[in-house]
Structure 1
Amino acid sequence: MNAGTASVRYPLPWPLRLLVSVGLGAILPLVFFGSILIQTEGHEPRGLCAAVEGDGGTLPLQMNAGGRIGYTCDFNWDLASFYVVPPALLFGMIVFAVWTLMRRRAAD
């Protein structure tokens, strides 16, 4: 192989791999709960949105579609972190373990 065309691989250190794994693991619960929130116009999961009259909510979800008074979603960040962080850590650890095992297998 020609030395000019060879690529040099720089593996990521384990703390950075762990951070990337947890970030990738957070995508699944965010998409899951976000899709439920959008499809139900902020009514499900319960407690995630508090109805605020007018445009005062943090999310532009119309919680009273077809009604005379419009309500938007005031997002509950504490409950959202409770819903997202544990599954994100679980899926992140699974991604990290698979990534580590694949690296070890490739090194053999």
Structure 2
Amino acid sequence: MAGLMPAAKGLSWPFRLLVSMLLGLLPPVAFFGSILLQTDGTEPRDFCIPTERESGLLVLQMNSGGQVPYACELNWSLAMIYILPSAILFGLLVFATWTLVRRR
């Protein structure tokens, strides 16, 4: 039971790393999300797969002014390729900062 509890000094490093990686996801998701919202899902190119009607994951009008409404079905593999490298970088920066502040 003692192995499941955090150390008396603070949180264990694997937990801090997990929290840091989750926090590292926020900046790239916010960045690409803002681009998607501003361009109605047309940029970054191939990030959204157009689906007819409103059956897509994101309800963005990709074909404004057209006869057939299209919604955005997220291309998960491309999204991970765009988001994960910068998320890992931001996460490691958060972890390093957290570790250095903790040692002071």
Q: Secondary structure at the match of 1:51?
A: strand
Alignment correspondent of 1:37: 36
Matches of 1:54 and 1:101, distance apart in 2: 51
Deviation at 1:11, TM superposition (A): 1.1
Show CA shifts across 1:56-108 (max 9, x none).
32211110112221111121011111111111110000110011011111xxx
Which residue type is aligned with residue 97 of structure 2? V
> Where in structure 1 are there 5+ consecutive unaligned residues?
1-8
Alignment correspondent of 2:94: 95
Matches of 2:38 and 2:101, distance apart in 1: 37
Correspondence 1:8-19 to 2 at 5 A: 11-19=10-18
Correspondence 1:1-108 to 2 at 5 A: 11-105=10-104
Matches of 2:101 and 2:37, distance apart in 1: 36
> Where in structure 2 are there 5+ consecutive unaligned residues?
1-7
Deviation at 1:10, TM superposition (A): 5.4
Which residue type is aligned with residue 72 of structure 1? A
Matches of 1:20 and 1:58, distance apart in 2: 26
Deviation at 1:52, TM superposition (A): 1.5
Deviation at 1:38, TM superposition (A): 0.7
Superposed structure 1 runs of 4+ greater than 4 Å apart = none
Q: TM-score, structure 1 length as denominator?
A: 0.84
Which residue type is aligned with residue 12 of structure 2? P
Q: Secondary structure at the match of 2:41?
A: coil
Percent sequence identity over aligned pairs: 56
